[in-house]
Structure 1
Amino acid sequence: MTTLTQTLADFTVQTRFEDLPQPVVHEAKRLLLDTIGCALGAIDTPSGQIALDYVNMLGGTPDASVIGSSKRSSATAAAYANARLANVLDADDTFPTSTHFGNATVFSALALAELDACDGRDLLGAIAVGFDVGARIGSWMGAPMQIENGKVIGWNELGGPAATITWAAIGASADIARLNGAQANHAFGIGGSNSPQPTLRKWAESVEQPMYKYADAGWCAEIGVSSALLGRLGSTGFKDILDGENAFWKFYGSPNHDDGALLAGLGTDWQILNTTYKPWPCCRWIHHPLTAFGRLLEQHALRPDDITRVVVRANPFALTPIFREQHPRDLLSAEFSHAHALAARAFDVPPGPRWYETATMNDPHIAAFRERVSVTAEPSSSNIAEWMTGGQWRGVPGGVDIHARGTVFSATADHATGDPWTAATHFTDEQIRRKFGVMVGLDANGNGPETLQQAARDVADVVMSLESLPVDRLAVALNALCQSMRAVGVEA
């Protein structure tokens, strides 16, 4: 039986831009702009430089753009570098299966769009479709913990975000490569069989993070591109990789699966509309306490010197040692530190690359503030299973208690800024543009050198009108922006 595999494969290759509702098209543009910004912001990081040096060392035919490089490379190499860059700052969008896959969705599709000289409509369609595939695989496999009678009874021994990142890339790549149903079926088998190892448990226990965290988004994107190209050339894979007792969910370590969640509303319920955007470059689980923290700072005009102590109330995912670390030693570890995130927010450090620059990490005022932050459990999210629907979280409370001016200011956020399910937290187009500006070197208000402002606007304008443009217009605008970043002293 290949019912699940073939049904999802057929959806992937048969869906076209004309099938997308307008809100889905608009969200694909927003995701594209946000993801490009996250990649641009990571160019001058150690991990970003390694990705660029690695791709430069590989060489390859100049078929696709590499963010931050004046040289083009092969589709697989470009997908690798760009997707890895997009995940370096942990500022990229997060789907409520607790994973990021906008990075690989966008950059696997963009690499193949450039290879095949596609239109912007093709790229936007592939982003929407690929995102849907990744989201559905994540929802199908469910949470990375064991749940019995509605209660969490333990963590999975295996599992992790790499699965959904890879599947999103496979879906996007199969769509934009214009595979037929049989070729897509084989591409699914090829990509699913070669997904990275599930390392979530190892990540959770590690205070010092490797540069790729729990999965290298670049490799996941490269797997998607390679799977589609191999399928197009006639290579074969397991045609039933999503079906039967030995399906992907089982050998990837999930204790159960929900076939209904995989296919429910296929082609009508577009999962890209459920993604969350990050106003701050850190783990999404920190955003709920950060949202509450920011509200209190603004409501009571609290300044860092007013604050003697902050108690973070975190959900069960954000209580492991890495989240409690007060003095993270590197960028990747700092992305999971409640203390560092609250310190950067308290001192109004622009929420982008500057959060992790050496000057910020070593600032004595930042360090002193981190010392005053402790982490405990948020009682209302202690049973995280209560906050799940169809394998997804739509709100997991987190909060803070700020000790200042002789009193305690407390707040809890069920939804974090950037969540699409409430009007108060929805990330507007203007917020996405402003975040993009910070990532490329402008300040939080969009101010900076006029040439850089104009180049950033040009990229955003191209993305927002991409359905009427060829993809190479985006490549040209991106190259001009990188040149402008170099000219004003932002490494690119």
Structure 2
Amino acid sequence: MSTAILAEAMAGLELPDVPENVRQAAKYVLLDSIACIIAARDTEMAPIVAAAAGLLGPEAGDAYSHARLADCMDFNEGYAGAHFGCGAVGALLALAAHRPMDGATALAALVAGFETGARITQAIGPYYVDGPDGRPVFAPVWGIATQVAYASVATTARALGLDAAVTARAYDLAGSNSSLPIGGAWSAAIDLPNTKYCDAGWGALTGLFAALSAQAGSTPVEGLLSGPNSLFAMLGAPNADPSLAIAELGAAWHLTAARFKSWPCCGLISGGMAALKGLVEAEGLSPADIEAMVVEVVPAIALPRFANIAPATFVARQFSLPHAAAMLLLDLPPSAAWLSPQVAAHPVTRSLREKIALRVYEGEEDLATRPCAVQARANGRIYAAGPGDVAPPPSAFFDEQAVLRKFRALVEPDTGEAIIVAVMAIESRPDLRPLAAAIAAARPCPSLPAALARLDALIPA
């Protein structure tokens, strides 16, 4: 059965089995996630997450808080439209803080977790279906919670050294206990709740508990990844291909397809953001120049939550293209300040958002690149950028130096540099408890005072 095959491969995974570029990619995921966790300590979510984590005990609470903070700003890495690395990292950091663990074991566990999450994502398939006009739109039922639980359980099982049989039971327990696919109901809101399409902390906790429960002797419904009543049927996945969960095991690696985000906003609007940044850089446009702007997006994201010009909540600001575009035009460094209520309510921000509208892009569609076009009226002229007009900068990246720059922009150097050193040489570390302690002590770079000062300076005299 698929569960047993996948579990056997991941339970037996050793670092020499993993190509060097895949190991490096795992370090990037870990470092980027840690940066997002630390940056999120400067957001309104920090006390909420801390209070919830406090209900769970030290190890489980750490898994919950690390995963939810890593995901809460929508600034963490993505893979095929899903965020599940936070589940693997959340579980790993919790285990590293409370149990003896060497770095080589930790890196192998992180690889197992991300690769498992990616394989479950591939097996679930895209969450789009053809709309009335034949163009892709969101399916009525979709979700990206299950992958978080599987990434967490695979990391935990490998870190604990569970054998293949117990690991398989853990996987099936994680699938049985994972959250419902609430994406369709969630995305109908405009002022989005802060739990998003799933509570990533709960997903990490689900995986951690499943592995510990299996280790203690709990047994599940077996073979959840196969058969007519499989996990994929229960998820209502319209494009599922369960065979992809185990396709090319040991030959195909997914970590190198992770992409790291340039901005704290939904990756689905990254095409519009990149086109806008390319236009601004090419034409030298400033916020004061903008009279009106239209961003054309693919039909799948031509939805009210993406067009919201007055996002009232922390998460609504992550999914509002007018808000994210305003932050980019105002040249505010991507940080917690982008999502703060003070920056969102500032008159300069509000005025700029109100000038930005969305409409459907009518050109050739490619969901992989999400082509977009931007038209801006500024200084009495019309400026335009679309596919082939202005070469946009990358909206996401896979590059060690870019990961390091992002980390250093988000984490204060007196606490952050030691984390970088430890992560980039993690396989040589005999004990990860010093790294866990450094992460607990690390502080985010303050971003709000400078952002507000920048906005105040733009208020017309």
1:209-255 C-alpha deviation (Å, 9 max, x unpaired)? 11111100000000010011111111111221001100000011113
TM-score under structure 2 length normalisation: 0.91
State how 1:409-428 maps to structure 2 within 5 Å.
409-412=383-386, 426-428=397-399
**Structure 2 residue 436 is matched with structure 1 residue 453:** no
8 Å Cα contact 2:305-2:316 kept in structure 1: yes
State how 1:251-330 maps to structure 2 within 5 Å.
251-330=234-313
Counterpart position of 2:380: 406
> What runs of 5+ residues in structure 2 fail to find an aligned partner?
451-461
Matched residues in 2 for 1:310 and 1:153: separation? 25
When the two chains are superposed, the root-mean-square deviation of aligned CA atoms in Å is: 2.3
Task: Give the aligned residue type for 1:76.
Answer: A
8 Å Cα contact 1:279-1:417 kept in structure 2: no
SS of residue matched to 2:21: helix
8 Å Cα contact 1:48-1:84 kept in structure 2: no
SS of residue matched to 1:329: coil
Matched residues in 2 for 1:320 and 1:463: separation? 39
1:428-448 C-alpha deviation (Å, 9 max, x unpaired)? 3222222223323xxxxxxxx
Shift of 1:167: 1.6
Shift of 1:112: 2.3
8 Å Cα contact 1:462-1:473 kept in structure 2: no
8 Å Cα contact 2:415-2:442 kept in structure 1: yes
Counterpart position of 1:76: 60
SS of residue matched to 1:409: strand
Matched residues in 2 for 1:361 and 1:39: separation? 22
Shift of 1:479: 3.4
8 Å Cα contact 1:179-1:231 kept in structure 2: no
The number of residues matched between the two structures is 444
8 Å Cα contact 1:166-1:220 kept in structure 2: yes
Matched residues in 1 for 2:233 and 2:434: separation? 43
8 Å Cα contact 1:39-1:85 kept in structure 2: yes
Which of the residues 36, 40, 43 maps onto 1:42? 40
8 Å Cα contact 2:232-2:240 kept in structure 1: yes
Counterpart position of 1:431: 402
SS of residue matched to 1:402: strand
Shift of 1:100: 0.6
Matched residues in 2 for 1:147 and 1:173: separation? 38
Counterpart position of 2:104: 121
Q: Which deviates more, 366-375 or 352-361?
A: 352-361
Aligned-pair identity in percent equals 30
Pair 366,155 (structure 1): closer, same or farther in 2 beyond 3 Å: closer
TM-score under structure 1 length normalisation: 0.85
> What runs of 5+ residues in structure 1 fail to find an aligned partner?
61-72, 388-392, 420-424, 441-451
Matched residues in 1 for 2:393 and 2:248: separation? 27
1:263-286 C-alpha deviation (Å, 9 max, x unpaired)? 222222211111111110000011
Pair 40,249 (structure 1): closer, same or farther in 2 beyond 3 Å: same
Task: Give the aligned residue type for 1:409.
Answer: Y
Task: Give the aligned residue type for 2:437.
Answer: V
Counterpart position of 2:73: 89
Which of the residues 360, 378, 381 maps onto 2:343? 360
Task: Give the aligned residue type for 2:3.
Answer: T
**Structure 2 residue 148 is matched with structure 1 residue 165:** yes
Q: Which deviates more, 230-239 or 366-375?
A: 230-239
State how 1:176-191 maps to structure 2 within 5 Å.
176-191=159-174
8 Å Cα contact 1:29-1:464 kept in structure 2: yes
Task: Give the aligned residue type for 1:209.
Answer: L
1:24-50 C-alpha deviation (Å, 9 max, x unpaired)? 111111111110111111113222211
Pair 108,316 (structure 1): closer, same or farther in 2 beyond 3 Å: farther
**Structure 2 residue 170 is matched with structure 1 residue 199:** no
